[in-house]
Chain A
C-alpha cells in the first residue's frame, strides 16, 4: 500500500518551453501532496505543498509563477515548470501522506528534468 507514481520519469526540453510533471497516489486519497527538488548530493528541499481544491503553499524563495501546481483531485497533483531554463534542471520528487498532513510521507520515483 501507499504507492505514489510520477510521470514522466525523465524529460529533456529546450530552454523556454514548459514541462508538466504528474504525481498520482495509486491506492489512497491524498488531500495534500508535496513537491520537492533535489540537487546532486543535496537534501530534498520542499518547494510547495499542494492542497486539493485550493491554492498551493509555496516555500520561501520558490517562484509560484514559474512552478505552477494544480491539485485537481484527491489522487492527482501536477507541477508545471514554465519557461524552463538550464538552472531548472534538477530531480523533482512528489510525496503524499495517507494520513494527511506532512507526517509520514511516501514518495514517488522522481522526475529528472534536463533543460538544454
Chain B
C-alpha cells in the first residue's frame, strides 16, 4: 500500500536554528513528490516538486532533497514567519503512464514553530 510518513510531528526551533523535516514514502513507482506549506485555517501553498532521486530545489531559506526512499526539507536560519505546517505528498505510478492515475497521497505534516 502506498504510504507517506512525516517526522517529526512537531518541531520547535529558535530563530536561526537550522533543522530538517523528513518525509519517507513507499509507493509503487514515484511520479513526483511535492512539498506544501499550510498556515492555520488556510489551504496548502505549493513549495516544491521533486521527480527523481538526487534532485534538489531551493527557495529562500528552504531546500528540498529527494532520495529513493525519502525527502528532506531543510530549513536554514529559520524566522518566526516560517512557522507553519509543512505537508509532503507523493504521486504514485510510472511517469511513462499517460493516464490520470496517481492521485496525491499526503502525509500528516510537520508542525513547525520558530520562536524569536
On chain A, the residues within 8 Å of B109 by CB distance are: 43
> Nearest residue in A to B107 (C-beta to C-beta)?
A43
Which one, A32, A43, A104, contacts B32 given CB within 8 A?
A: A104
Of A61-69, A75-83, A105-113, the one contacting chain B is: A105-113
A58 to B108, CA, bound (A): 21
The total of chain B residues at the interface (CB under 8 A) is 23
Q: Which of B36, B43, B106 is within 8 Å of A108, CB to CB?
A: B43
B44 and A102 form a contact (CB under 8 A): no
Across the interface, name the chain A residue whose C-beta is closest to B45.
A107
The residues of A that contact B106 with a CB separation of less than 8 Å are 43-45
B residues apposed to A, CB below 8 Å? 31-32, 34, 36, 41-46, 49, 87, 89, 91, 100-104, 106-109
20 contacts between A and B (CB under 8 A): A34-B104, A42-B108, A44-B106, A45-B106, A93-B43, A93-B44, A95-B43, A101-B100, A102-B100, A102-B101, A102-B102, A102-B104, A103-B32, A103-B49, A103-B91, A104-B46, A107-B43, A107-B44, A107-B45, A109-B43
